[in-house]
Amino acid sequence: QVQLVESGGDLVQPGGSLRLSCTGSDFTLDAYAIAWFRQVPGKEREGVSCISNNDGSTYYSNSVRGRFAISRDNAENTVLLQMNNLKPEDTAVYYCAARRLWWPSGWNDPVLYDTWGQGTQVTVSS
């Protein structure tokens, strides 16, 4: 069964850093576009970042651009999200998602992704 597993969520102080991992089970992640979404209770799931499966292009929401970085570690079949200078408003459950067919528009539309992980909690608080 195709699965994604997130890890790395934690409680961190404002200004701190975390690195989230998304690992594929029973499929090779570099054949898929992989995105990170986040969600807080009562709000819609928000696209944070994405890495394409054709040329490795990366995409970021305005709220995280310059602080977060997405990358692939193909040897580990993992996609990483390095999060720096974290703010309280980054607090959310973070999900990774995969899709095979790629086009840039709609990279942050959760409806276009068909495989999801279970989520990992990130809490930014002093």
Q: How many CB atoms lie within 10 A of CB 32?
A: 24
pLDDT tens, residue by residue, 36-55: 999 999 999 999 999 999 89
68, two tokens: 């977060």
How far is the CA of 74 from the CAs of 3, 53, 55, 85, in angstroms? 16, 12, 14, 26
72, two tokens: 């692939």
Determine the pLDDT at residue 25: 86
Determine the pLDDT at residue 1: 66
Determine the pLDDT at residue 102: 84
Judge contact between 106 and 35, C-beta under 8 A. Answer: no
* pLDDT values of the chain reduced to their tens digit, one per residue, 126 residues: 678 999 999 999 999 999 999 999 888 999 999 999 999 999 999 999 999 998 999 999 999 999 999 999 999 999 999 999 999 999 999 999 999 988 888 999 999 999 999 999 999 999
Sheet with 3-7: list strands edge to edge: 3-7, 18-25, 78-83, 68-73
Query: Which residue stretches of the chain are H helix?
Result: none
